Amino acid sequence: MKKLMLFSIVVVMILLMGMGAAELSERLHGDRAPSYGPAAGPPATGAAPELPAPVKEQDWRLRIVSEAQPLEEGFSVETEEAENCYLFDTRAAQALRDFLAAGRAAGMDLEVASAWRDWATQETLFEDKVERVMAETGLGREQAEEIAADEVARPGTSEHQLGLAVDINSNDYPWLDEGWADTEEAAWLEANCAEYGFILRYPPDKSDITGIVWEPWHFRYVGREAAVYIMENGLCLEEYAAGLA
């Protein structure tokens, strides 16, 4: 009888030890079914948990401003002086200073012709262009505005209002026209802009996409990573942004 009782005790101990090992294994490997508090209980069968709406933060460096994507009325941005009273987005002002300094160190004659513009300034520039077109062509205002908008953005549709665009020329060539592209300075700017986070914003072969004619003097800050990719692959900002969507 004693032997039988001893045998039974040993069997029970082995079973208990086996259950403990299995529980330990489940804990280590995460195989245990989840436990629920007494108040909550398990989710109802077939009921999916409600998830928050996904949020995609817009990269301020890549914002596109155009006729199709105008700025909202009252748009504002914090700016600071980048050079000679010209203002630029505070987050990108140092990049512009570095860009210009590098060019000058390489012997380039570089001058800022335009940077950040407020709404009123853009209105004035556009109105002046419309009046010149009307005077030169005899066209009515509606047609003149369409022509003017190819060269001067309507208020709310100019990148200059973002504080991320800069027009650059030189003392030797102070004009903003296609002739600037033939200067040594223009060649240096296009070849080196990406290193400082800038792109040639309106290339000659992208007008059908950007809606803006070729502007070899107009550079846009987008950040170094995006700038290098855009310039190395011959893209415009619209094409790059479409690829990220």
Phi, psi dihedral angles at 69 (to 5 degrees): -135, 70
Distances (CA, A) of 165 to 7, 188, 189, 202, 215: 89, 18, 14, 11, 12
Report d(CA 221, CA 124) in Å as an integer.
24
Structural contact between residues 163 and 88, judged by C-beta atoms closer than 8 angstroms: yes
Report d(CA 185, CA 11) in Å as an integer.
92
Report d(CA 231, CA 196) in Å as an integer.
12
Report d(CA 15, CA 34) in Å as an integer.
25
At 112, which helix (H) or strand (E)? Answer: strand 111-114
Report d(CA 151, CA 202) in Å as an integer.
11
Structural contact between residues 159 and 201, judged by C-beta atoms closer than 8 angstroms: yes
Catalytic pick from 73, 131, 215, 238?
A: 215
Residue 215 a catalytic site member: yes
Q: In 56-192, which residue ranges form alpha helices assigned H by DSSP?
A: 93-105, 119-137, 141-148, 184-192
Rounded to a whole number of angstroms, the CA Rg of the chain reads 32
Catalytic residues: 215
